[in-house]
Structure 1
Amino acid sequence: MAQEPSGDARGFSPRPGPWQSDLSNGSVSPAEAKAPGNITQTPLGDAKSSFNYMIIVVAVVLLIGLFGLVGNGTVIWLLGFRVKRNPFSVYILNLAIADFLFLLSIAVVVLLFINNTRDLTILILPVLSTSYLAGLTLLMAISTERCISALFPIWYRCHRPAHLSAIVCAVLWGLSLCLGVVFSVGIYYHLVLFLIVILVYNVTSFLTLLVLCVSSLTLLFRVHCGSWRRQTTKLHRVILLTVLAFLLLGLPLNVGLFINLFFPSLFSFLRYEPIFYIPSVLNSTVNPVIYFFVGRQGQLPGRKALRDVLQSALTEDT
């Protein structure tokens, strides 16, 4: 029998939680904040200070998201139409699409919050949850394949299927879309599937962390230690920096949501939840910066076409 999910079951990231909240996370309307004598207390203080706090968070998220949309849009355009593709550029293209959709969804949710039409966020939730999960799984695929190519270079060159990247990306997008739709339907109709998908998101986040840590340590050992020592390539640096960015910026939100789901007494996560979305949005914004920064390394001074810079970052050249 379907049952309404518990209000405490919030251990997942792609949801409109921080923008749909009531006074429990410090979000109040301007009228309430300015009402004479209104001294409603919230976890962040009185209503007026809490409203100002949400305005700051919204402004920061929109500003970062705007830069991220431009950066990821540029990467999508170049990799989709201007740059010769290779196995890893296909992954990067799909990761840029996932980041673009995630940032766009967050921006739409924020604008709905500003316009006080938060009920419409249910329409954005499938895109938000699908792009978030696709980004996690694509990052795992990139790191895993790069690790295999470094450990078994001869086998990788001779036996890797020609269209493996496209197949893997299609499968990951398909699975992410299915879970995103099920998740949204579960929320809308209060089905028990809601809780199952929450568990899937938490397990996926944990597997992402595990795979990224293992593959990154393996790559570092492969490049810098023992008889395997070799010069790092730009692609190697791009992947390591992308993984590092996720660990520093994307992981805190996942950890906070995991603690809130399983150990809510350890930390009052809901009080500061909107702040955790700032580094998560920044994580989706910083990847294009990494690509172009690494691509510029080792090149002669002067203006270079973004197409050449991006192609340089995603090849095996040192």
Structure 2
Amino acid sequence: MCDIRLPFQRDRDRITHSKTFRRLKHKTQVFLAPTGDHYRTRLTHVLEVSQIARTIASALCLNEPLTEAIALGHDLGHTPFGHAGEATLNELHPGGFRHYVHSLRVVDFLENDGKGLNLTFEVRNGIVRHSKGRADILPKQKSETAVTLEGQVVRLADIIAYVNHDLDDALRAGILTEGDLPVRIKNIVGDRHSKRIEAMVRDLIVETLTADDGDLHISDTMLEAISDLRTFLYDNVYTYYKVHAEFEKARRIIRDLYNYFMENGIVRIRGGRIEKNANGEWLDEKDAHRRVCDYIAGMTDRYALSVYETIFLPEPWSVK
């Protein structure tokens, strides 16, 4: 125990000091290997989720350290190349792959040289229940959400963050213009990045305080606008031909690395050289799949590219 920090503060600090957290700065959010410095990465996404979640938690008089710990840890299990990596590992690993489940595996088993981070139940539950995919923004089934309101806040802050910053990045990339955003959405959420976030956060806070029934609430009008904006992004950004083309390249890289490791054992790249993992002998096929999946999921984009290049691309040489 710590006589300075409360348990949730300790959890937050263990997450932010972990190696997995630091690697998020080199993992894709939406745009793979963007040349600009201002596109979101998985790390900046996590920080934006944390900021939005803390604002909501403070207004609702919830536990801010718990909210912050869940927000900072919610994407620790994300793969290189974002959802391209996740989709590929889900196909290749016999047990499937979901980044939110893997995030729990990271904090329970993989971090701290296999010892885990020893986080509290509330933080662990919030991490594994944070994702919603394209399901209902406010699930009707309690079993689909975190047991704490703080965990439920992070789930909503996650979608508020990504629909806004993915739109912002798409505008920066020239994939969209402000005029492309449907007027019905713009009239509800606003015509600027900051206005859109404020409108969504304010609606959630006001509707929840007005209902005062122990649940989170969003007005029907705002709920429809957020859902429409999410659909708009799927139709016009996530499936945009240039984004999709890079998505398919990333899937090929993950697939080739996975198959190579299954056949040859895990290798690491040191100074441009391949080094065999000392523990490269599998106990059985299930063990092989599990360890290969863990290894690839923990890679950054650039490390995955480096390993792929070293293994599969010929190295120029000359005879002296």
Short-chain TM bin? 0.3 to 0.5
Q: TM-score if structure 2 supplies the norm length?
A: 0.32
Relative to its length, the structure with more helix (as a share) is 1
Q: TM-score if structure 1 supplies the norm length?
A: 0.32
